[in-house]
Amino acid sequence: MQGGCKSLCAKEWGESRFCYPGPPLPEPRLPRKNAMSLRTKALLIFVPALAVYAGLNWVVGRLVVMPSFHELEKEKALRDAQRGREAILREIRHLDMLTLDWAAWNDTYRFVVDRNENYIADNLTEETLRTDNLDLLVIANAQGDIVWGTMLAPGKLRVNSGEELEALVPGAAEQLLRHMDEKSAKAGIVMSARGPMMVSSRPILTSDHAGPVRGALVMGRLLDEVTVKEIAEQTRTQLKVLPAEATAGQPAAARDGKFQLACSDDFVLVSTVLHDIGGEPVLRLESTVPRKISGRGKRASIMAFAALVGAGLLMLSLGLLVIQRAVIRPVLGLRDAIDRWATDPDAPLSQWGLNRKDEIGALAAKFQSAVKDVRVRDRVLACMAETAQALMRTPDLSVTVPEVLASLGDAAGVDGVHVIQCREMRAWRQYSWVRGQGFILNDEQWEAIDPQVYEELGRSKVVEVLRDDRRLDKVLGGTCSALLAPMFVNRELWGFVAFSREHCCGLWAAMEKALLRT
């Protein structure tokens, strides 16, 4: 046995250069001193995002939401003004229908001719006029002469001639007292001596609306503050009626009867012009609407913005809490676990709450596996250092080689370590260490080696041999799987070291290959 050991001289093991060209190990990267924590990074992400979202919400509120409230206010103010104008026109139509009812009546038709007192006593009383809300009632014949007339407000004033009517209602004699045919009708607004008045004039006909026309019947109702207030209450609007002179400085559209809007901080003002029966501007109608809608919209926007900011801060707090519990705390636990694995790589993950099913749990398991691999590599490297020292101390290979192989097998966690010499496509397994059997010195017996395996070893490649691979059965003795690491002497392939497994037939891990090729 000693002679066999000395077939590989001590000089070859101790002084020759065994090398395997592997990739250089990366230099460790030290953490930066001023590195930010995950909590700080999360704050730097979430806080600007919340600020941008809140700013966008505020911009949308200012440029989209609030203008819509302003438009609603303007639409409401416009509708109120339209209702006010329609209410006045409706009063004029009602007055016109009342005038038609009196004018197309046989009694009135006869009264123009006979002026009987019974008609006056039955119909032309102050009580009757007040019941119909009339301030002016005039009956004229076909020549324009006044047969009977009176004006009630304020007080009662008889109107006996066209001149008196003209004094009370300028232009009335020409516009209201003459009708050319049965279908003639005049109604609208005039400016009287006592203020704006709604008037209506109809031709006096028979009850069958037949002629000839015997004259004109004129009715009027003052558009005073009381009447305007009643109309405002009916339409639930804030109406004002101003003289036509108030439109002198207004745009042409306002003087033409179109609606004009003006907005202040507290009110929306809508105005339009009412024309008299001659088509001239006579009154300016104003409708004022308090800006309650925009006020409520502003308050709602502020509350929504405050709720958004509050919800954002709440979500930020919850997000930081989740990050703290789901990321930062497990990462700190992983850091502590790595420190512990430096001395006890088999410490369970549950000790730091890392036995999780998520990515951090998988990362912790990978770290633990990597720590174990590093410790195995450290043991192998330490074993190699001890081997080199042993070879230098003891040139007797019969003593050194068994210790070296046993140490390598234990350090690498394999079932067998074999030193195999190659020569001209043939191989001889000189030394073996098998777990449970110990060191084995084999007799010189050269077996053919697969050319492909020999070529790959010559190119400094680690060769993996699995259970179904029969290329090295005679050389390795039918192991389950093996990893072949080439050895070079003076830059020439001397042979290889085979690390074998007897109970695991799967692929060798990349870490194992990198470890054993060392």
Each residue of 375-427: pLDDT tens digit? Answer: 666 666 666 666 656 555 555 666 677 877 887 787 777 888 888 888 888 88
Q: Please give the structure tokens belonging to residue 223.
A: 């558009």
Does 74 fall in a domain?
no
Give the CATH number for residue 143: 3.30.450.20
Does 108 fall in a domain?
yes
How many CB atoms within 10 Å of residue 143?
A: 9
Same domain as 121, residue 6: no
Same domain as 493, residue 396: yes
Q: Please give the structure tokens belonging to residue 125.
A: 């009383």
Residue 324 is predicted with a pLDDT of: 80
Residue 353 is predicted with a pLDDT of: 63
Does 9 fall in a domain?
yes
Report the range of poorest mean pLDDT among 38-47, 80-89, 110-119.
38-47
Mean pLDDT on 475-493: 79
Does 212 fall in a domain?
yes
Same domain as 512, residue 385: yes
Does residue 265 sit in helix, strand or coil?
coil
Same domain as 9, residue 137: no
Does 221 fall in a domain?
yes
Q: Answer whether the bond into residue 348 is a cis peptide, omega within 30°.
A: no
Q: Please give the structure tokens belonging to residue 216.
A: 């004109």
Query: How far is the C-alpha of 258 from the C-alpha of 253, rounded, in Å?
Result: 5
227, 258, 287 - which closes a domain: 227
Residue 70 has pLDDT above 80, yes or no: no
- pLDDT grade, residue 291 (50/70/90)? confident
227, 255, 282 - which closes a domain: 227
- Best CA proximity match to 432, nearest among 422, 443, 424, 423: 443
Residue 103 has pLDDT above 80, yes or no: yes
Q: Is residue 462 within 8 Å of residue 485, measured between CB atoms?
A: yes
- pLDDT grade, residue 171 (50/70/90)? confident
Q: Residue 460, by phi and psi: left (phi above 0), alpha (psi -120 to 50) or beta?
A: left
Give the CATH number for residue 431: 3.30.450.40
Residue 99 has pLDDT above 90, yes or no: yes
Indicate the pTM of the whole model.
Answer: 0.53
Does residue 32 sit in helix, strand or coil?
coil
Q: Is residue 423 within 8 Å of residue 492, measured between CB atoms?
A: no
Query: How far is the C-alpha of 278 from the C-alpha of 171, rounded, in Å?
Result: 9
Does 113 fall in a domain?
yes
How many CB atoms within 10 Å of residue 119?
A: 18
Each residue of 313-366: pLDDT tens digit? Answer: 888 888 888 888 777 777 777 777 777 766 676 667 566 666 677 777 777 777
Does 356 fall in a domain?
no
- Best CA proximity match to 129, nearest among 103, 98, 100: 98
292-323 vs 38-60: helix crossing angle, rounded to 10: 170
Same domain as 143, residue 11: no
Among 15-19, 21-25, 84-88, 170-174, the range with the most confident prediction by mean pLDDT is 84-88
Sheet with 146-151: strands ordered across: 157-158, 146-151, 136-141, 215-222, 195-203, 186-192
Domain encompassing residue 211: 104-227
Report the range of poorest mean pLDDT among 44-58, 66-80, 223-237, 470-484.
470-484
Mapping DSSP onto H, E and C, the string for 322-338 reads: HHHHHHHHHHHHHHHHH
How many CB atoms within 10 Å of residue 204?
A: 27
Does 129 fall in a domain?
yes
Instruction: Return the residue matching tokens 């019974």.
Output: 118
Report the range of poorest mean pLDDT among 69-78, 266-275, 361-370.
361-370
Mean per-residue pLDDT of the chain: 77
Q: Is residue 185 within 8 Å of residue 96, measured between CB atoms?
A: yes
225-235 vs 66-103: helix crossing angle, rounded to 10: 120
Query: How far is the C-alpha of 397 from the C-alpha of 441, rounded, in Å?
Result: 11
179, 202, 227 - which closes a domain: 227
Sheet with 260-263: strands ordered across: 239-243, 281-290, 267-275, 260-263
Same domain as 383, residue 479: yes
DSSP assignment, residue 470?
-
- Counted domains in the chain: 2
Mean pLDDT on 501-515: 65
Mean pLDDT on 99-117: 93
Same domain as 505, residue 390: yes
